[in-house]
Amino acid sequence: MHNQFGVYGASGHTKVILEILENSGNTITCLYDDDPDKKSLLGYAISNDQSVLQTKDMEWIIGVGNNSTRKKIAENNFLNYGKAIDDSAQISKRAQIGPGTVVMPGAVINSDTVIGIHTIINSGATVDHDCNLSDYVHISPQAALAGNVKVGEGTHIGIGACIIQGITIGKWVTVGAGAVIIKDIPDYAVVVGNPGKIIKYNRQ
C-alpha cells in the first residue's frame, strides 16, 4: 500500500529516507525543517512553517541521524509516525518493527527480532534472530549483531562493529567503528577496539 509521507528534518540522512520512500512508490507530500536557511533538498521544497506538521492523512519520518535529537523531536511532536523500509532489505515475517523506524538498503533483520520506535538500521547492517533493540537506536552501515543481542535506548553501534551472540549493551552507549564486542557493556559507556574496551562514559 502506498502512503503519503512527510519527513521532519532536511539532512544527508533525509536524502536516503526520501529515496527509500520514492522507490516504494510512496508520495512525499512535505519536507519540514526549522532552519529557515534550508529551502530545498533533492528537488523537494522545505517548509519552515510548523503548521504543516498538522497536515492530515500523512505519515511522518524523522530524518535526523543523531539519536538524542531524534528523541527530542519525537517527544515534542505527536505525529502519525510511519516506517521507511527499503525494498532491498531482508526482513523476517516474524520480526517486529516500531513506528518511525528506518531500515536502509541491504539491511537484514532476522526471525523474532524486536526493534523499537525511531530506530535506524543502516545500509548493509545485519540484526540476527531474537535480538531486542530499544527506541532511538542507530545500527550503522555494515555493523553485525549476532543472535540474542540486546541494545538499550539511544545506543549508537558504529560502522562495521561486530557484536557476538547473547551480549547486552546498555542505554546511550557509543560503540566505535569496527569495534568487536565480546562482553556486556554498561549504560553510557564509550567502547572502541578489538576486543572492545571502555575508554570513557558519556555524560548522563
Whether the link from the prior residue into 195 is cis, omega within 30° of 0, is yes
- Among the listed residues 13, 118, 129, 156, the single catalytic one is 129
Percentage of the chain exceeding pLDDT 70: 99
Three-state SS at 47 = strand
Mean pLDDT, residues 72-96 taken together:
97
129 noted as active-site residue: yes
Mean pLDDT, residues 108-124 taken together:
98
Mean pLDDT, residues 14-32 taken together:
95
Domain ranges for the chain, please list them.
Answer: 4-76, 84-194
Q: What is the pLDDT of residues 1-12, one digit of tens each?
A: 578 999 999 999
**Tell me: domain 4-76, CATH 1.20.58.1910, correct?**
no
Other CB atoms closer than 10 Å to residue 38's CB: what's the count?
16
On the question of pLDDT at 204 being above 90, the answer is: no
Q: What are residue 46's DSSP bridge partners?
A: 31
pTM: 0.96
Q: What is the pLDDT of residues 36-53, one digit of tens each?
A: 999 999 999 999 999 999
**Would you state the cell numbers that stand for residue 10, as one nine-digit string?**
532536511
**What CATH code would you report for 84-194?**
2.160.10.10
